[in-house]
C-alpha cells in the first residue's frame, strides 16, 4: 500500500494495523525536527518503507552495509543508507531478541530518529562525511524523543570517534552527550557544529569529558 502527502511517500503492508498512528506521529513531530534544523522545506518527498519481513529488510540492508565496510547486526531495524527511511515493521521487530519489547511508541520514535538523519543530511548538503557518527546519533536519539538515560559511559572518546559501530554503550553515550549538549548550549552553537567540522573536532572531546563527569556524579 502507498500513502502520500506533501512531504512523505509511505509504503506499507495493508495488514499493518499501526500505520495510522505512525503517519499521524510522523506528520506532527517532523515539523519540530525541521524547525530545529531551521529547514523550511525539504528538497524532495521523503520515501518511508516499512518492511514486512526480516528477510526483506536484510536483503535491502546487507549490500549497503557491505559497500561501507560494515556488517549486519540483529539489532538493526532502521536506516537511511539509500536516503530513504527504511524501517522494520513492529510485528517483525518482536521476533528479534534485541527488540522483543519494542512498543508502537518506540516504533514511531525509530522512524523519527531516521527522519532526524534525513534532516541532518539535508542541512549538510552533498558533503556530509563529517566523521562523527556519535554526533549524528546524539541528535537523532534526542530529537526523536528516544531515551537512554539510566545508562553510563563505558567507552573512551577515541573508541567512540574512530570505531563507533564497536564502541560499548554507543547509542547511550551519544544520547547522553546530545542531552548534555542540548541542555547546556544554545541551539545556534549546535547548528554551528553541524556546519563547522573544525569546531566539532575541537568541541567533541571536551563534550565527552563534561558529559562523563556530569553523569558519573549524578549516579553516585
Ligand atoms: Zn541513527
pLDDT at 24 over 90: yes
* pLDDT band of 128, cuts 50, 70, 90: low
Task: Tell me the CA–centroid distance for residue 44 and ligand 1, in Å.
Answer: 20
Task: Tell me the CA–centroid distance for residue 114 and ligand 1, in Å.
Answer: 6
- Quick check: helix, strand or coil at residue 46? strand
Region 117-140: mean pLDDT is: 88
Task: Tell me the CA–centroid distance for residue 17 and ligand 1, in Å.
Answer: 25
**Cell (9 digits) for 30:** 517532523
Task: Tell me the CA–centroid distance for residue 96 and ligand 1, in Å.
Answer: 18
pTM confidence score: 0.95
Region 129-143: mean pLDDT is: 92
Give the span between the Cα atoms of 88 and 32, in whole angstroms: 24
Task: Tell me the CA–centroid distance for residue 137 and ligand 1, in Å.
Answer: 5
* pLDDT band of 133, cuts 50, 70, 90: very high
Task: Tell me the CA–centroid distance for residue 202 and ligand 1, in Å.
Answer: 23
pLDDT at 48: 98
| Average pLDDT, rounded, for the chain | 94
Report which of 104, 100, 94 is spatially closest to residue 23, judged by C-alpha positions: 104
Task: Tell me the CA–centroid distance for residue 176 and ligand 1, in Å.
Answer: 14
Task: Tell me the CA–centroid distance for residue 51 and ligand 1, in Å.
Answer: 17
Instruction: List Cα–Cα distances, 205 to 13, 150, 185, 212, in angstroms.
Output: 44, 22, 15, 11
Residues bordering ligand 1, an ion, CB closer than 5 Å: 137, 140
Q: 3-state SS of 150-219?
A: CCCCCCCHHHHHHCHHHCCCHHHHHHHHHHHHHHHCCHHHHHHHHHCHHHHHHHHHHHHHHHHHHHHHHH
Task: Tell me the CA–centroid distance for residue 184 and ligand 1, in Å.
Answer: 22
Task: Tell me the CA–centroid distance for residue 40 and ligand 1, in Å.
Answer: 22
* Distant-in-sequence, close-in-space partners of 179: CB < 8 Å, separation ≥ 6: 142, 149
Task: Tell me the CA–centroid distance for residue 80 and ligand 1, in Å.
Answer: 8
Task: Tell me the CA–centroid distance for residue 112 and ligand 1, in Å.
Answer: 10
Q: 54-112, pLDDT tens digit by residue? A: 999 999 999 999 998 889 999 999 999 999 999 999 999 999 999 999 999 999 999 99
Q: What is the DSSP annotation of 76-137?
A: --EE-TTSSEEEE-HHHHTTSGGGTT--HHHHHHHHHHHHHHHHHHHHH-S----S-HHHHH
Give the span between the Cα atoms of 215 and 210, in whole angstroms: 9
Contact 118, 42 (CB under 8 A): yes
- Residue 66, sorted as left (phi over 0), alpha (psi -120 to 50) or beta, turns out to be alpha
Of 189 and 125, the structure prediction assigns the larger pLDDT to: 189
pLDDT at 220: 59
Percent share of the chain, pLDDT over 70: 97
Amino acid at each position: 500500500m502507498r500513502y502520500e502527502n506533501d512531504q512523505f511517500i509511505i509504503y506499507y503492508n495493508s495488514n499493518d494495523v499501526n500505520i495510522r498512528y505512525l503517519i499521524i506521529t510522523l506528520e506532527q513531530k517532523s515539523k519540530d525536527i525541521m524547525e530545529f534544523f531551521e529547514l523550511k522545506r525539504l528538497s524532495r518527498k521523503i520515501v518511508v518503507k516499512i518492511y514486512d519481513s526480516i528477510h526483506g529488510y536484510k536483503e535491502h540492508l546487507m549490500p549497503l552495509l557491505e559497500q561501507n565496510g560494515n556488517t549486519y547486526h540483529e539489532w538493526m531495524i532502521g536506516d537511511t543508507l539509500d536516503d530513504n527511511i527504511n524501517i522494520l515493521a513492529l510485528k517483525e521487530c518482536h521476533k528479534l531478541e534485541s527488540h522483543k519489547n519494542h512498543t508502537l511508541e518506540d516504533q514511531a520514535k525509530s522512524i523519527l530518529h531516521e527522519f532526524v538523519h534525513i534532516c541532518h543530511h539535508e542541512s549538510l548538503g552533498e558533503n556530509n562525511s563529517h566523521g562523527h557518527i556519535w554526533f549524528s546519533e546524539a541528535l537523532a536519539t534526542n530529537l526523536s524523543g528516544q531515551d537512554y538515560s539510566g545508562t553510563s559511559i563505558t567507552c573512551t572518546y577515541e573508541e567512540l570517534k574512530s570505531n563507533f559501530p564497536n564502541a560499548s554503550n554507543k547509542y547511550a553515550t551519544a544520547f547522553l552527550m546530545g542531552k548534555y549538549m542540548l541542555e547546556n548550549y544554545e541551539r545556534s552553537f549546535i547548528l554551528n557544529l553541524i556546519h563547522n567540522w573544525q569546531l566539532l573536532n575541537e568541541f567533541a572531546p571536551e563534550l565527552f569529558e563534561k558529559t562523563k563527569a556530569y553523569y558519573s556524579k549524578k549516579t553516585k
